[in-house]
Amino acid sequence: MKQSGGALVAAYVLGFLVPAESCTARVAYGVTNCVVMSICLLSLILFYKGPYPWHINLLLILGLFISGVTVWLTLVILPRTDLPSAVVFP
């Protein structure tokens, strides 16, 4: 349920559902990566000791780390710079 709701939010923010209403590229990538980060975090919390191999947890941790860094860059670091959104996200 969480993944479906998150995917719906990400699709809306990226402009797939309503093409005329979309956010800036920075906000769209930030929100989408927040969804990925929350899915990875909830999967780790709920299914940490699941019946699947150990490398699945490693992939979830890697996804959590990469999406967290991307959220930090798009929503915290890049707004402080003078670069326009088109330069960073063509």
- Among 26, 28, 37, 25, residue whose Cα is nearest residue 67: 37
Residue-number span of the structural domain to which 16 is assigned:
2-88
- Report the pLDDT averaged over residues 23-34: 80
Q: What is the mean pLDDT of residues 56-66?
A: 91
Q: Is the pLDDT of residue 60 over 80?
A: yes
Residues whose CB falls within 8 Å of the CB of residue 35, separated by 6 or more in sequence, listed in order: 6, 7, 9, 10
Query: Are the CB atoms for 64 and 37 separated by under 8 Å?
Result: yes
Across the range 18-30, mean pLDDT stands at: 72
Alpha-carbon Rg for the chain, nearest whole angstrom, is 15
Q: What pLDDT, in 10s, does the model give residues 7-22? A: 777 777 777 677 666 6
The count of structural domains within the chain is 1
- CB neighbourhood size of 58 (10 A): 10
Stronger pLDDT, 36 or 86, i.e. the higher one? 36
In the chain, what percentage of residues exceed pLDDT 90? 12
